[in-house]
Structure 1
């Protein structure tokens, strides 16, 4: 679905139920929110477009895969992509389709007669989700169209809203969500958006805005809540058995169900899993630069978990094999955080389909807290938050950390978790770090998909330089 005033509204989110017959009951309201969560794991959200925009342009990863396979991914490593490249289109389309679902829920649920507390929570979940999708879009493209209801979609689809206004809407949505979302869930509802998730994203958005007092308001509330802690074993943190655990702030919920390919549709692990022995396709491979960064820090623990080399045996007893040659590296290697052990594979569905996508962890909250405190001159406070993260990695205490040391810790702790490129742009490091790969100031934003410009007859303009 391309983003236009007609097609935006042309998405029948309820399958076989005509839209005019939907949004009548409490069950309809529940189903509309479930549809949002379900589509968070689809191809455009977690596979090639995701790694193309948020990972491969960084210094941490390269295309990977076999020589010549999916060669278009090299365009993102070399900053040679254009406005017609498919992954840019997919990234845009996937997020606007989900914003459409959110807006339908936000616009229609208020009129349903149902329990008011549940109603408020469901609308809060939709606002939380919408905020995360707009956060992706504004970081990737800058000014973007910003429909916030079914009623204003036709007009809003035709113009780009200034990024500052998009950020204001993101903040409002997250603040609204934080007011009504619960602290936790039980049973089948575990994994839905919580108050802590809304606060976590607020902290991150305020970090992008450099509003450090507001960052600390959110991180302090999360830390003092006592609901979160660091998973002691960094390896287990990324395994299926520890999903939605003590460190989880928010995860995209994925499933592998024998014989059900529709439900087992996540390809997040599949596109990155070790090729050659049934784990996946081998794309988005950790770079030599990332390996050197781990080595320079003496960070053997996180390196072994993050980078799986050919010939390595994992803690679950899987020997990692790989074809030779593998594009871009002399020693084939893979993203260890997307690895799903053989014992957790389900035959007949996508490799690793059961693995959740970690979107935000408590470790990141601690690092956001440290960054805010260092910017406020609270060096001791920054050191205390940084220490918790470094202790798990078996690294020495830094008594007076610099901002660069905190950024370096983000690089290693969150490596291969689809955050590094935006981090480099946010912190002003991109021009120096990525210049050898071809980065210029133009590449701080990606091009608006040409199809969007065409379908709006040029009312939506292209980003400078493309």
Structure 2
């Protein structure tokens, strides 16, 4: 299957571009339950019928899983995990090659505005937003898409726009808020305050919740449903300090009855069809699983390309089964040669899907939201923390002090979500603890006020006179 989408996007050289998404493996039929048209563009013809309109939405998911990391990265999936983990002092790049300086800028907190991987985050983020805005506009004008499909697709599109802006605002801070396909005007937009971006994220997710049903559109959890929108909404409320709202959103998912009442075994969490999954993405490369499995897993006695830092390895308590199940060692005699092993499959038949949202995070969100509120909410916070600790095989906590419980929850998030979607990097930033923890681990003089944000790509500033640079990188 081949999708060709003509996309004028809001980034450095905003010209008409052609994005080709190749899907080679037969198993993608589970994801795409029909034969989409071989070629389509973002014009009205796409929205003449349910099939082609749905194909436009599926192309976004396929694009996110299409491996473009080798050509300077991609917006989500492996890049967010690997580079976010380096920023959080979880991983280091060990190979002395031409990629090393660009990669090591993340771990050293020495990013420059011309870093190609930073630019890829920006380019791909706005590329997807353009596609999503085109879908929303096409659906609004369409008379050929049935009402039920139109509502489902609009819900998915609003969710995905919120998803993209969630990562853009966390990576860059204030970013241009692009809500239309009027690319000539979008080329010269200024940055929008992060408060307004966060509000747009909440507005889109709230709308998506009202449009999506609790039933998944596919047999597997490969397209967003109502609880997927709730999962990101719960996280967004947590990040913006809306504790009661975060608690309520997470509680809705946990209490829904649509997910496992007991967390599954650690070695099954990242398999396709995992009972912990709220939303997964299916690999689309021929005879391949996730890029994590391909890039992180080491075969033979050799140093991993991506190696855990001593700080991450020392964070686990004695007996923590996550250190056993989710960390691999390429040389049993060398404990420093440790690498992420949440995903264990590389080439071959597909046994693992890419986990985007999982139930454990909702317990952690509810735990923190309750702990932040304190008082009568503390027992619930402790109970949720212990749900996670019980599965990990560590002693249950009996903490009753609010501040101590919050630190315990922060630690539990560290050892639960390491090397996963940049969670640790974002956690340290949103709690204001990044400088205290990461500055001493950075080369002297590298960490500056504002290093919690990535630089706005220099080519974007050159192309748009209204864009300004983040403080840590301004000359």
Class of the TM-score when normalised by the shorter of the 2 chains: 0.7 to 0.9
Paired with 1:432 and 1:59, the residues of 2 have a C-alpha distance of: 13
- 1:234 matched residue in structure 2: 266
Superposed CA offset, 1:160-185 (max 9, x none): 11111100110011111111112132
Paired with 1:191 and 1:97, the residues of 2 have a C-alpha distance of: 21
Matched, 1:29 2:53: yes
Query: For 1:254, which of 283, 289, 292 is the aligned residue?
Result: 283
- 1:178 matched residue in structure 2: 209
Q: Match of 2:432, SS?
A: coil
Paired with 2:366 and 2:187, the residues of 1 have a C-alpha distance of: 35
Considering only aligned residues, what root-mean-square deviation do their CA atoms show, in Å? 2.7
Distance 1:358 1:19, change over 3 A: closer
Contact 1:159 1:460 (C-alpha < 8 Å) held by counterparts: yes
Distance 1:177 1:7, change over 3 A: same
Offset of residue 16 of structure 1? 3.6
Q: Match of 1:434, SS?
A: helix
Query: For 1:291, which of 310, 313, 331 is the aligned residue?
Result: 313
- 2:99 matched residue in structure 1: 70
Paired with 1:231 and 1:340, the residues of 2 have a C-alpha distance of: 22
Contact 2:290 2:345 (C-alpha < 8 Å) held by counterparts: no
Query: For 1:435, which of 439, 443, 450 is the aligned residue?
Result: 439
Superposed CA offset, 1:115-158 (max 9, x none): 21211110110111111110000001011111112247724752
- 1:191 matched residue in structure 2: 222
Superposed CA offset, 1:384-413 (max 9, x none): 111111110112222235100011000011
Query: For 1:425, which of 426, 429, 449 is the aligned residue?
Result: 429
In structure 1, stretches of 5+ residues that fail to align are 259-263, 313-320, 322-328, 348-352
Distance 1:62 1:210, change over 3 A: same
Distance 1:153 1:410, change over 3 A: farther
Q: Match of 2:472, SS?
A: coil
Paired with 1:10 and 1:176, the residues of 2 have a C-alpha distance of: 30
- 1:406 matched residue in structure 2: 409
Contact 2:222 2:279 (C-alpha < 8 Å) held by counterparts: yes
Superposed CA offset, 1:276-311 (max 9, x none): 489xx94332211111011xx224311112221124
- 1:302 matched residue in structure 2: 322
In the superposition, the TM-score normalised over structure 1's length comes to 0.85
Matched, 1:84 2:114: yes
Q: Match of 2:280, SS?
A: strand
- 1:448 matched residue in structure 2: 456
Paired with 1:356 and 1:248, the residues of 2 have a C-alpha distance of: 10
Offset of residue 15 of structure 1? 7.1
Paired with 1:445 and 1:298, the residues of 2 have a C-alpha distance of: 34
Matched, 1:380 2:385: no
Paired with 1:209 and 1:180, the residues of 2 have a C-alpha distance of: 24
Q: Match of 2:92, SS?
A: strand
- 1:460 matched residue in structure 2: 467
Paired with 2:319 and 2:126, the residues of 1 have a C-alpha distance of: 39
Q: Match of 2:255, SS?
A: helix
Offset of residue 428 of structure 1? 1.5
Q: Match of 1:171, SS?
A: helix
- 1:318 matched residue in structure 2: none
Q: How many residues align?
A: 429
Distance 1:95 1:276, change over 3 A: farther
Contact 2:299 2:330 (C-alpha < 8 Å) held by counterparts: no
Q: Match of 1:90, SS?
A: helix
Q: Match of 1:465, SS?
A: helix
- 1:315 matched residue in structure 2: none
Paired with 1:33 and 1:105, the residues of 2 have a C-alpha distance of: 7
Distance 1:234 1:112, change over 3 A: same
Query: For 1:7, which of 14, 39, 51 is the aligned residue?
Result: 14
Paired with 1:142 and 1:18, the residues of 2 have a C-alpha distance of: 32
Paired with 1:101 and 1:95, the residues of 2 have a C-alpha distance of: 10
Q: Which residues of 2 match residues 121-136 of structure 1 at below 5 A?
A: 121-136=152-167
